Copies of this chain bind each other. A is one copy, B any other.
């Protein structure tokens, strides 16, 4: 099972790295970064979560700097960003605001896929390295949100995970499903797929319907600033 989940993990990792690198690259394009800035931001976004995971699990040096597949995935994503970015330009040459909104939406949906795959892959790796269950759940959650947090901080934005819309919770739910199944000795492909779809479903619903948790009563934006 662990051996099998190792292959599953690599597949999930590469998928998550790819989509987070895409989202990071698009955020870089939006932030008017140059070519290398975009690639650096793609690298940080795609590998940041996994690097934090490996540091927390003591699996050093982190895969994010030692695994060639990861690095190739980032470079491919970087190239794709430029194609994507071209599309955005073609699609709305005369409507920059629409283009910006479209980039922002794409980033959110790409993140949703990355959060789902990293939450599952992160908790699977923590389990395979013998981390205690509670730690495995949090490692999954941190793997899922870490890259996006670093990406947003680097471009001077308050991280999405702290702003509107359910974000950290589905990640923790997904990794909890994996960890509980593992504790019960029922960690199987269907469970992994269920966890993936659970996280993805909640995230996509939160974006599509703009679901978010209640905001505490606070002074108006004007007063707060």
Do residues A168 and B40 form an inter-chain contact, with CB atoms below 8 A? yes
Interface residue? A166 (CB, 8 A): yes
Chain A, range 114-146, C-beta contacts under 8 Å to B: 126, 131-132, 134-135, 138-139, 142
Do residues A57 and B56 form an inter-chain contact, with CB atoms below 8 A? no
- Which residues of the partner chain B approach A185 to less than 8 Å between Cβ atoms? none
Partner of A36, one of B134, B142, B153, B168: B168
Distance of A35 Cα from B168 Cα, bound (Å): 11
- Closest residue on chain B to residue A70 by CB atoms: B134
Chain A, range 61-94, C-beta contacts under 8 Å to B: 61-62, 65-68, 71, 82, 85, 89
Chain A window 144-174, contacts with chain B (Cβ cutoff 8 Å), 1 for yes, 0 for no = 0000010001111111011111111100000
Chain A, range 5-30, C-beta contacts under 8 Å to B: 28-30
Do residues A158 and B66 form an inter-chain contact, with CB atoms below 8 A? no
Distance of A50 Cα from B134 Cα, bound (Å): 17
* Distance between A19 CB and nearest chain B CB, rounded to angstroms: 19
- Closest residue on chain B to residue A135 by CB atoms: B66
Do residues B100 and A216 form an inter-chain contact, with CB atoms below 8 A? no
Chain A, range 24-51, C-beta contacts under 8 Å to B: 28-38, 40-41, 51
- Closest residue on chain B to residue A64 by CB atoms: B138
- Which residues of the partner chain B approach A35 to less than 8 Å between Cβ atoms? 213-216
Interface residue? A217 (CB, 8 A): yes
Chain A window 106-118, contacts with chain B (Cβ cutoff 8 Å), 1 for yes, 0 for no = 0000000000000
Using a CB–CB cutoff of 8 Å, the interface residues on chain A facing chain B are 28-38, 40-41, 51, 55-58, 60-62, 65-68, 71, 82, 85, 89, 96-97, 99-100, 126, 131-132, 134-135, 138-139, 142, 149, 153-159, 161-169, 212-221, 223-224
